[in-house]
Amino acid sequence: MTTTPIAAVTGVSGAQGAAIAAAFRDAGWQLRGLTRGLTRGGAAAPPGIQPVAVPPGDAAALDRALEGASVLAVTLPLDHRRSVREAWLAGLLLAAGRAGVGRVVLNLATRPLPGHERPMALAMRAMEAMALAGPVPAAVLRPTVYMDNLLMPWAIGAAREHGVFAYPVAPDIRIAWMSHRTLGAAALAAATRPEAAGRGFDIAGPEAVTGPEIAAMLGGALGKPVGFATLDPAVLAAGMNAGFGAPVGDDIADLYRHLPIVPDALAGGDGNAALGLAPESFAAWFARQTLAA
């Protein structure tokens, strides 16, 4: 008799966690969505997931949520208060060890840039080290930037209303944007490939494009001209702090201020080949969107 494996996934009410859960679900796994209320907002969890409430600090509830799970897939939440995520992750890793989970997959949700010694990058490196040194074999995913962010009002809304795509990079910076669907495929591969244990993977989309090239693609999808403008990171910081709470915006603005020093840091990722990924292209991603005004 074959037993259907169980994956416990955090953040399933958010876009990244939902995409990871959907990849496991579509591969025939049972899904448990661990909810705790750390993130704010987010999309509805995908169907086919058993929601499991794990109140903060409730070790017994966490143990029950992980009982029988083969994989724990963790996406770092959008809460950058100092040490909050580190403490949360430490509790998850210990519980995974107690429950006999076979693999932890940690999605850092973005990529720490080389030479970036600011709080967000330091915290991400520390959490990657925690996972790899934890009681359960772990794999860590370091993604680039998500194509799906273009569906947010600041991107698609501004393109529709003002004919502008604004992003905090210079026009010549190339980034290998990736889709949430690719993230889900990466998480599934990291969970099921034996050789992935104990490693971190830079994952990315298949093509590195500039801001003006994205603006042109948005314009093609909308059927109208769209230009590119470099957004001041300070404006990004203020908007994200207002929406998600400080220091989220400050930390992410720090990343974009550092990117010109390492301009190719988000232009690709050798983790794609290591995980056997065939990442979704921008053309394929745009083809499944309904964006026309």
pTM, to two decimals: 0.95
What is the CA 56 to chain-centroid distance, rounded? 22
Which amino acid makes up residue 271? G
Element of type H or E holding 87: helix 84-99
Q: Euclidean distance between the first and final Cα of the chain, in Å?
A: 52
Distances (CA, A) of 114 to 118, 121, 206: 11, 9, 21
Judge if the upstream peptide bond of residue 247 is cis by omega within 30 degrees of 0.
yes
Half-sphere exposure of 275 (CA within 13 A, CB side): 31
Is the pLDDT assigned to residue 237 strictly greater than 70?
A: yes
The stretch 247-273 carries a mean pLDDT of 97
Q: What is the pLDDT of residues 62-110, one digit of tens each?
A: 999 999 999 999 999 999 999 999 999 999 999 999 999 999 999 999 9
Percent of the chain with pLDDT over 90: 91
Tokens representing 234 are: 């300070």
Average pLDDT, stretch 232-246? 95
For residue 44, what pLDDT is reported? Answer: 54
Lowest-pLDDT range of 45-49, 99-103, 116-120, 264-268: 45-49
pLDDT at 2 over 90: no
How high is the mean pLDDT of the chain? 94
The pLDDT value recorded for residue 42 is: 45
Instruction: Quote the pLDDT of residue 39.
Output: 39
What are 256-263's contacts with CB under 8 Å, separation 24+? 256/168, 256/169, 257/233, 258/113, 258/115, 258/116, 258/118, 259/113, 259/169, 259/173, 260/170, 260/173, 261/115, 262/113, 262/114, 262/115, 262/116, 263/172, 263/173, 263/174
> Residue 220 to residues 171, 286, 293: CA-CA distances in angstroms?
19, 10, 11
Q: How far apart are CA 109 and CA 144, in angstroms?
A: 8
Q: Does the pLDDT at position 211 exceed 90? A: yes
Has residue 188 got a pLDDT over 50? yes
Give the span between the Cα atoms of 35 and 169, in whole angstroms: 34
CA nearest neighbour of 131 among 166, 176, 101, 161:
101
* Secondary structure E strands in 12-62: 30-35, 49-53
